[in-house]
Amino acid sequence: EPEVTQTPSHQVTQMGQEVILRCVPISNHLYFYWYRQILGQKVEFLVSFYNNEISEKSEIFDDQFSVERPDGSNFTLKIRSTKLEDSAMYFCASSETLAVNYEQYFGPGTRLTVT
Amino acid sequence: DQQVKQNSPSLSVQEGRISILNCDYTNSMFDYFLWYKKYPAEGPTFLISISSIKDKNEDGRFTVFLNKSAKHLSLHIVPSQPGDSAVYFCAALNTGTASKLTFGTGTRLQVTL
């Protein structure tokens, strides 16, 4: 069964460093998302991406964040200068379409630890 | 800004019995609702969804009920199995304007033998 994959599973970085989190969405899906979950809190939306551009972003997704689909399969989230409060699980998700079925399928997540 | 609330942080149910997980929402623009299951160190797994034009959707052991007037939905699992032990998240979506999911805080279900 097709699934969303994410690498790395765990990333440790120092405050101020840049990180890139990688995702491979399900191959026939057209919509891509990033969410995050800070320990003990709920899953929060960061950004959605369709047709090679951001379609929606949350207040969390400030100028320090960017997304890219560099080729036909990868979808990346970059944090330019990490802060302690960026420590969280980051989930990539994809969906096939926004008509009829709105289900989003999630990857296993990348645990980002900023020290 | 708790637009989606799951007021029970945890629930314990005996194997074979019914598990009922509840979710309330405040945003009347939400018109599509989803339930996800999450095991530790894994991503949320889609379980079942319901559109606001329906009041019930069933898939095997899982049934979701929607009460629009009360802005309330519930997930019924029957019979409950030990493998159902996980955190269950309710999520909501406004299909007209946005594709983002708004999640509740989750309910940890423990199915005991």
Q: Which two tokens stand for residue A10?
A: 């765990």
Output the pLDDT for position A100.
61
The first and second tokens of residue B105, run together, are: 């805080």
A43 within 8 A of B44, measured Cβ to Cβ: yes
Contacts B32 to A, Cβ<8 Å = 102
Q: What residue ranges of chain B have pLDDT lower than 70?
A: 1
Q: Do B49 and A35 touch (CB under 8 A)?
A: no
B94 touches A: beta carbon within 8 Å: no
pLDDT value, residue B49: 95
**Sign of dihedral through CA atoms A112, B84, B113, B64?**
positive
Separation of CA A55 from chain center = 14
Looking at residue B30, what DSSP letter applies? -
Residues sharing a CB contact under 8 Å with residue A1, sequence separation 6 or more, in sequence order: none
Number of neighbouring beta carbons within 10 Å of residue B82:
10
User: Is residue A75 within 8 Å of A92, Cβ to Cβ?
Assistant: yes
pLDDT of residue A98: 65
Residue B110 is inside which H or E element, if any?
strand B107-112
Q: Chain B within 8 Å of A48 (Cβ-Cβ)?
A: yes
- Residue B95 contacts A where some CB pair is shorter than 8 Å: yes
- Give Cβ neighbours of residue B60 (< 8 Å, ≥ 6 apart): none
C-alpha dist (Å) from residue B110 to A5, A40, B12: 28, 18, 5
Give the three-class secondary structure for B83: helix
Q: Report the pLDDT value the prediction gives residue A71, as an integer from 0 to 100.
A: 86
What local confidence, expressed as pLDDT, does residue B97 receive?
76
* Cβ A77 vs Cβ A20: under 8 Å: yes
* Minimum distance, in Å, between the CA of residue A114 and any CA atom of chain B: 18
pLDDT for residue B1: 63
Report pLDDT for A57.
Answer: 94
- Here the tokens at position A26 are 């399900």
Residues of B with Cβ-Cβ distance to A108 under 8 angstroms: 41-43
According to the model, what pLDDT value does residue A28 have? 87
| Each residue's pLDDT expressed in tens, for chain A with a length of 115 residues | 779 999 999 999 999 999 999 999 998 898 999 999 998 889 999 999 998 999 999 999 999 999 999 887 899 999 999 999 999 999 999 998 766 678 999 999 999 999 9
Read off φ and ψ for residue A114, nearest 5 degrees.
Answer: -105, 125
Q: Are strands A10-13 and A19-24 parallel, antiparallel or unpaired?
A: unpaired
Helix (H) or strand (E) holding B4: strand B4-5
